[in-house]
A = this chain, B = another copy of it.
Amino acid sequence: MSAKPEHFLDRITELDDRTRYEFSSSGKVYVQGSRTDIQVPMREIRQSDTLTEKGNESNPAIRVYDTSGLYSDPSAHVDLRTGLPAIRAPWIDERDDTELLTGVSSEFGRQRQNDVQTAHLRFEHLHKPRRAKAGANVTQLHYARQGIITPEMEFIAIRENMSIAQMQQQQLTGKGDVTDLGFQHPGQSFGAAIPKEITPEFVRDEVARGRAIIPMNINHPEIEPMIIGRNFLTKVNANIGNSAVTSSIEEEVEKLAWSARWGADTVMDLSTGKNIHETREWIIRNSMLPIGTVPIYQALEKVGGVAEDLTWEIFRDTLIEQAEQGVDYFTIHAGVLLRYVPMTAKRVTGIVSRGGSIMAKWCLSHHKESFLYTHFEDICEIMKAYDVSFSLGDGLRPGSIADANDEAQFAELETLGELTKIAWKHDVQCMIEGPGHVPMHMIKENMDKQLEVCAEAPFYTLGPLTTDIAPGYDHITSGIGAAMIGWFGCAMLCYVTPKEHLGLPDKQDVKEGLMAYKIAAHAADLAKGHPGAQLRDNALSKARFEFRWEDQFNLGLDPDTARAYHDETLPKESGKVAHFCSMCGPKFCSMKISQEVRDFAAAQEAADGVGIVDVDAGMEQMAEEYNKTGRQLYHKV
């Protein structure tokens, strides 16, 4: 949206060119499942050949998990005003356990539909809302417990299994030595149960146990299904949303697509500013990612910002309003109990969760437990009619190193464990939010305690930030903690951007935050020993070693930045085929020299059968040979 037409609907037709473009040397592939309408998107990165003296050797295309949706598919027609295609619609229809309503059920939703002042901002092609038929439970957890493998589960199995499938296709064993592109170190998974191959039945089983969730509202048929659980790839969430101070609808839709491009697995719309309802509609209709919200933010806006005036009825209406728009998971701070609030009074940073502090204020003011807690089973009834998942909020998470792992935090976690079991009793999917600010040596205690008290329900943490002293760099302070807790068993990492504590993230901040968190999540997958996780590292390192610069860029998380950095010092095209890099120049290049070491050892081995480990016998001869062959530093390109 570089041009800025006067009318909103003209402005929001298309995404910024900087958001919507194909990844270089990449193609979108769709892997078909057991039926033609299961089309699982992946990104395939083409590689160039390795140049050897014997001729060119081809390198396999590498498939990577792809969250970018149609926005990176040049063949797709995308019009933000009509929204994305409803790929799940047939699957939902077939189950025949839902019904289309004639209109929205929430009072507030009706008001907004009739509001004249915001008419010009309204998404034009509103869906009719869908709800479970009376008495039906339409959650993926409910189906899983009945032994049903849904198309969504099969979609997820194919998606999660991507790198194993391609290793099989390329006949990589994953067991050989490091010359096998599939080589991988055994991981340390701290009791996770990660199988060698993800099957649809495994997906069903994990969901049935509550150890994974598939956040996917029946009113969000545009979703490309994904799963959150410790035995799957570690996921990343990006927060977007406007505030009273800044941002517009088109900026938020832009940030959504931008987040997806850079690897967000889910997005939370944390808007607290103007036109929350309309902003959310635009976001959901244009999102193939699950969308999470914190409904209490909007509820508070409805009572003019006075926390004490919040009621169950207003909150309930908000849940239904948002569920019928298609929100996939709700953060609900039901664990903030009255007796826990005073535990925070002597903290360095009190209560730093917005939702937590709103509820604490309500509890203090009314001197009773919050309606989130007392109406928890009523909330479950709503959730299961739309398949909205719980993200049980950690309202008392620590906001500073000093407050980490304190009584208030762990007391709330215990309550979240109890609530998890109530949600499960209703077959409602549930994950648990976690901290916050925690020094490295206290992170594992968080994960272990969560696994224990929440019976392995997925953990979803913000960071944690491992120090307080770097405002402006909290994507890094927290990326460290995120990588560690992901390794220990956390299922999804909520990103932190460089603007944390300072301001609202813009597009560049969103990308910086996502890069730090994609790194953390992948580092966690490697450390857990997630099958096939090392394939991309191996391919990129091989490309790097062979000076296939473009392949190195393209296999990286952010080809644009890698290429730009390279070009700053060696801008010419010739730099990209150079058998050296700008750090060392041609003389000193260590990779070059060690390639020679290898070539020589291999040539020697081939020539006379002296194995490279048979040092004593072969070395003198090798030295002579090496000197005789001209001691060349350079290979011909």
Binding site for B on A (CB under 8 A): 177-179, 183, 185, 187-188, 243-246, 272-273, 297, 300-301, 305-308, 338-339, 341-354, 356-358, 360-361, 364-367, 399-404, 406, 437, 439-442, 466-473, 475-477, 479-480, 483-484, 487, 498-499, 501-504, 506, 515-516, 518-520, 522-524, 526-529, 534, 536-538, 540-542, 544-545, 552-553, 555-558, 561-562, 564-566, 568-570, 581-598, 600-602, 612-613, 615, 619-620, 622-624, 626-627, 631, 633
Contacts and interface: CB of A to CB of B under 8 A. Distances in A.
Contact of A244 (B356, B562, B586): B586
A348 B467 contact: no
A67 B622 CA distance: 50
A200 B120 CA distance: 73
Contact of A587 (B300, B570, B598): B300
Count copies of this chain in the complex.
2
Nearest to A534: B401
A498 B561 CA distance: 10
Contact of A515 (B473, B515, B538, B602): B473
A177 B344 contact: no
Nearest to A444: B188
B503 A566 contact: yes
A503 B477 CA distance: 25
Contacts of A587: 244, 272, 300-301, 305
A523 B437 CA distance: 11
A300 B590 CA distance: 13
A440 B499 contact: no
A503 B581 contact: yes
6 contacts: A364-B623, A367-B624, A469-B519, A472-B562, A503-B569, A506-B568
Nearest to A595: B350
Contact of A558 (B404, B472, B622, B623): B472
Contacts of A519: 466-467, 469-470, 473, 476-477, 480
B566 A502 contact: yes
Given A403-B178, A439-B526, A588-B300, A480 B477 contact: no
A361 B399 contact: no
Given A350-B597, A367-B623, A541 B468 contact: yes
A596 B598 CA distance: 68
Nearest to A624: B367
A347 B487 contact: no
Given A360-B597, A499-B565, A502-B566, A582 B246 contact: yes
Contacts of A476: 475-476, 479, 515-516, 519
Given A300-B587, A526-B439, A612-B345, A558 B470 contact: yes
A503 B472 contact: no
Given A179-B348, A480-B480, 18 more contacts: A178-B347, A244-B584, A246-B569, A342-B615, A356-B590, A357-B590, A360-B593, A361-B593, A439-B527, A440-B527, A467-B523, A468-B540, A471-B544, A472-B556, A472-B558, A473-B519, A479-B479, A503-B568
A46 to B, nearest CB: 17
Contacts of A246: 569, 582
Given A401-B537, A519-B470, A590-B357, A345 B568 contact: no
B569 A504 contact: yes
B480 A188 contact: no
A611 B406 CA distance: 19
Contacts of A243: 582-585
A577 to B, nearest CB: 15
A538 B348 contact: yes
B593 A357 contact: yes
A437 B46 CA distance: 25
Contacts of A569: 245-246, 499, 502-504
